[in-house]
Each structure stands twice: as C-alpha cells, then as structure tokens.
Structure 1
Amino acid sequence: MDGLSTPKQKLSALIITYNEMGYIEKCINSIAFADEIIVVDSFSTDGTYEYLQKHPKVKVIQNPFENFTAQKSFTLKQATNDWVLFVDADEVVSDKLQREITETINDSNACEAYWFYRKFMFQDTPLNFSGWQTDKNHRLFRKSKARFTDRKIVHETLDVDGTSCILKEKLTHYCYKDYQDYKGKMLRYGQLKAKEAFYREKQFNYVFMILKPFWKFFNHFVIRLGFLDGKKGLTISYLNALGVLERYRELKKLEKKNELTYYLVMP
C-alpha cells in the first residue's frame, strides 16, 4: 500500500571465541550497530568469557569446541534474526562497512549472501601482499538461505540457496598479534586440516610432506609477492608453510594411531 515503508531489517552479529582478549574489545565495539550480538565461547581461560559476560550488548554462551564448522553451525542456530553477520574475534567492521551492511540488508533487491574482501593487518600495519590480496569470505547472509557444509572442518564453507554478491568495503583482519600467537594458530589449523584429510581417507605421503610446505612458502612469498611486504611477508609465508608441514606430521600420527588400534582389536 502507498505510504507504508518497508520494515527495517534486523541484524544478528555472531562470533566464536577462545582466548581473544586484546582483540575482542575492538571487534565488539565495531559491531555494536547490530540488533543483537551473540558470542559462543569455547571455555576461554584468559578473561574473554568474563569480559563478554559483563558487556551489556552481548549474549555469551559457552560450548565445547569440536571444529570450526560445528562451532559456527551451533552459533548460527542461536541467532533470532534472519540476517546474520559472522565475524572473527580479530576482525573489525569499519564505519563505512557498517553503513554498507545496513544499506544492503534493507535493500529490497538484496542477494541472499555477501562475500567480504579483507584487509590483513600485521600488528598495526597492513599486509598488502603475501597471498592475502584476493582473500574473501562469506560473512553476511540470510540464515534461512544458507548453512555451513560439513565437508570442511577448518576453513568452513557456506552453502547458499540463492545468489551471492560482493560488498565494496573491506573487513579489517588483525591476523598477526605476535609471533607465538600466529605460530600457534597455524599449528592448530594444520592439526585440524590433518583430521579433515584423515576423515576423507587421504593417505600420508613423504613427498607431499616435503614439497607442499615448500610450495606454500614459494607461492606466498614469491608468486603472491610476499617479498614486497618485507620481513612481515617473510614471517607470514614461513609460518603458513609451517602450518602445512604440521598437517602432514599430524596426518602421519593419526594413521599410526589408527593402525595400532586396528592391530590391538584384531582377534
């Protein structure tokens, strides 16, 4: 009917956390424009959970961490609104991106899901190359039109029933706090990727264990121009390669454990 405006679309902002103090504060402030903020914490020990409990705009729930896909699927179920914005605890939504998100979800011609390009930060300075310049992720979507596929447990993938578009403004990702933090993150990713490969019945291979980390480093530092980021690019490329090496180390352990179990249960 004439004279009636379309109701404003409500937005749920969702985050999963584990020991994110030093990151989570900026993240929460940047998504305060959302109608609700829901955080699922996997039993942090650094004060993250206590901080979130005291935050007036945040609903925090604790849930054991199995893998990234399972945790994000659980978190998605907690949202009360159809439009959801998923961010990592080390990401920040700029003022311009906030406005673009709000305008997008209130557009009658909106797509069902949106990709975000990301601007990577090494501590407080940008990483312009090192393989991340084309990185993009589904972060804004209709809950009723999307779900996380169970085919991946690390770099979770969204299955969308409809059209995906790309937002213009970038999401700021503070990927590197310090050396030990990023190293730990890459090792954990490598271990989870090994489990993913093991479940898919992929076999450990010594040749791949040698070649794949080397290729990862060469791809990020040389082909993807990491050398133009200087020492930052060298550090990131090396630690990304270390994560790949850890994947094969862990896969070998899983296969040995499986073989041992098999022989122990044989009659």
Structure 2
Amino acid sequence: MKNSNKISALLITYNEVNHIVDIIKNISFADEIIIVDSFSTDGTFEKLLEFKNVTTIQREFKNFADQRNFALKQATHDWVLFIDADERITDKLKTEIIKKTNSPTDIVAFMVKRLYFFKKKRIRFSGFQTDTTYRLFKNGSVTYIKDKIVHEMPEINGKSSMLKNPMLHFCFNSAVHYKEKMEHYASLKALELYKKNKNANMIHFVIRPIYKFITNYIFRLGFLDGKEGFQICYLSAYGVYYRYKELKKLTASSKI
C-alpha cells in the first residue's frame, strides 16, 4: 500500500543494541527515520551508523519530555510515528497506520494498545491489560508536557482516537532489566516530585508499595501471569518504594 502522506518515524534511544536493528527494519515503511541517541555506550550508536536511511543525532538526556520534544522538532513530514526501541508494529497495525494517514480526518492523534511481553512471555494481567499510549500524530499537533519528566504525557491540540490493532511491547527481558528500568523511572519521578516540593513519609515507604503490589497482583489479576506476574508486581511495588527513597535523598541534600 503506497503512502501519499509521508510519515516521520522518531525514536529516542539509550543502550538499545539488542533492539535497534529489529526496530529499524520494523518501521522501514516510514519515509524518514530519525533517532535521538543519549550517547549510548553499548554499541547502539555505532550500529545506527550502518543504516544509510536513518538520521542519528546524539544529544544529552535531561528527561523524557525534553528529549521527545527535541525529536518532534526534527520531523519534516505530515505525520509522526513516535515509537520506542522495544516496541514493534504488527502487519495489521502497519496497514491501519498507512490507511489512517491517507484518509481525510480531523483526528490529529491516535492511541494504540500495547501487548506486553516479559522474557518473551505474553503478560495478560499484572496491571498491563489496559495499557494504551499515543504513538501517531499529525506533525505540529503535539508537544510533551515539560513538567511530566517521566511517564511523559503529550498535550494534544485537537481530536484524538484509538487505533484498532495493538502493538507489541518487549519491555523486559529479565527481572534485573525490569529492576533497572524501575529505578531509572523512579529516580526521574522523585526529581519531578522534589521540584513540586513534595516530601516522603512512612506512608510512602510502606503503605504505597504494599497497595501497589496488592492492586496489581490481586485485583488486576497478576497471579494469573504465573511467576512472571509475581516478579512484575513485586518490582512495580519496589519502584514505588525506590521513588520515595530517592525523594528523601534529594530533600536531605537540599538541607545541607
């Protein structure tokens, strides 16, 4: 299917050597591919230089919103497909994206459901069963809210809708990998809370992690995902604890 309205595919990367070749092949239907790399140290940047159809820019990482907004400014085509290196577009979703971008519409942003995989096992519960995210935009219709430096949120200037077909998300290849991600996100979230003059107390260290675990493992049926479900729910709760641990450190350092 020929695309008459052109698509800019955007990625922000850091140490994604295990995903980078597959994702570039996966989005090869886009008319341009632009990657903003945060000075990867695992060979990602060197691998990117092998692709003549990819524009790679190295830029210091401040936070997710800042990096995504910079990437958006590099796009030159009618539509923007913003994707992460560990996500994959299925054939059905690709066909739907091309159809949507070539049809008259007043929709400026499309959300997509993500199907999660942990160690290549499909995770059907554990809090992930309702996950959706914005991935397709009309160029110039979206900016990421600057104050949301982690779990960044786009500000949509117009109408939005949901795509019918899901994308695949190979988010975690091991418990260690998931823990590292949780700590990275938690540190950024702690900084976000610190800038809002929030403080940590015992409720944050005890009640909130327990509530997170019970919600995802019991009420959101994480136990049905087997041992992987337990690991995910436990580490999600750990991420909440780590967030407030880092917030406490930031607060203490500011008083020195």
The TM-score by the shorter chain falls in which range?
A: over 0.9
2:255 counterpart SS class? helix
| Aligned equivalent of 1:230 | 226
1:258 matches 2:246? no
User: Shift of the alpha carbon at 1:110?
Assistant: 4.9
Match of 1:109 among 93, 105, 110: 105
Deviations 1:30-49 (A, max 9, x none): 10000000000000011100
Match of 2:153 in 1: 157
Superposition RMSD in Å: 1.0
Partners of 1:250 and 1:143 in 2: CA distance: 36
Structure 2 letter corresponding to 1:171: M
Cα deviations by residue, 1:111-132 (Å, 9 ceiling, x for unpaired): 1000010000112121011100
Runs of 4+ with deviation above 6 angstroms: none
Amino acid at match of 1:86: F
* Identity rate, percent: 46
Q: TM-score, normalised by structure 2?
A: 0.97
C-alpha displacement of 1:182? 1.2
Amino acid at match of 2:170: Y
Which of 241, 245, 252 pairs up with 1:249?
245
Match for residue 208 of structure 2 among 206, 212, 216? 212
The Cα shift of 1:200 comes to 1.1
2:88 aligns with: 92
Count of aligned positions: 254
Give the whole-Å Cα distance in 2 for the aligned partners of 1:229 and 1:25: 29
The CA distance in 2 between the partners of 1:179 and 1:236, in whole Å, is 8
Q: Out of 14, 37, 61, which is 1:18 matched to?
A: 14
Segments of 5+ residues of structure 1 without an aligned counterpart are 1-6, 261-267
Q: Which amino acid aligns with 1:119?
A: L
Taking the TM superposition and a 5 Å limit, the aligned residue runs for 1:50-65 are 50-65=46-61
Aligned to 2:73: 77
Contact 2:144–2:154 at 8 Å: present in 1 too? yes
- Point out the structure with max Rg over C-alpha: 1
Distance in 2, Cα, partners of 1:207 & 1:132: 25
Give the letter aligned to residue 29 of structure 1: K
Question: Which residue in 2 is equivalent to 1:68?
Answer: 64
SS in 1 for 2:60: coil
